[in-house]
Amino acid sequence: MTRQYGLIFDVDGVVADTESVNRRVSVQVFDDLFGVKGVRDEDFTDGLGRGAHEYVKAAARVHKLDLTAEQLDKAVQYRQDLFLQVLTTEPLPPYPGVLALIEAGLASDDFEVAIATSGTLEKSRAALDAAGIPYTKMVYVNGNDVTHKKPDPELFLVAARRMGLPPQRCVVIEDAPNGVQAAKAAGARCIAVTNTTPADGLRQADRICDSLEEIDLAALRALVD
Q: Where are the domains of the chain?
A: 5-17+92-224, 18-87
Mean pLDDT by 10 residues, the chain (225 residues): 91 94 96 97 90 94 97 97 94 97 98 96 96 98 95 98 98 96 98 96 98 98 98
Q: Which of 10, 17, 43, 152 is catalytic?
A: 10
Instruction: Establish whether 10 is a catalytic residue.
Output: yes
Looking at residue 48, its pLDDT comes to 87
- Nearest partner of 179 among 195, 162, 155, judged by Cα: 155
Q: How many CB atoms lie within 10 A of CB 206?
A: 16
Q: Which amino acid is at 169?
A: R
pLDDT given at position 51: 86
Does this model's pTM top 0.85? My answer is yes
| Cβ contact 114:9 at 8 Å | yes
Per annotation, catalytic residue among 12, 17, 43, 152: 12
- Would you identify the CATH topology of the domain 5-17+92-224? Rossmann fold (3.40.50)
Task: Give pLDDT, residue 2.
Answer: 76
First to last CA, the chain: 17
Q: What is the pLDDT of residue 165?
A: 98
The alpha carbons of the chain give a radius of gyration, in whole angstroms, of 17
For residue 152, indicate whether it is catalytic.
no
Confidence at residue 1, expressed as pLDDT on a 0 to 100 scale: 57
Q: How many CB atoms lie within 10 A of CB 153?
A: 21
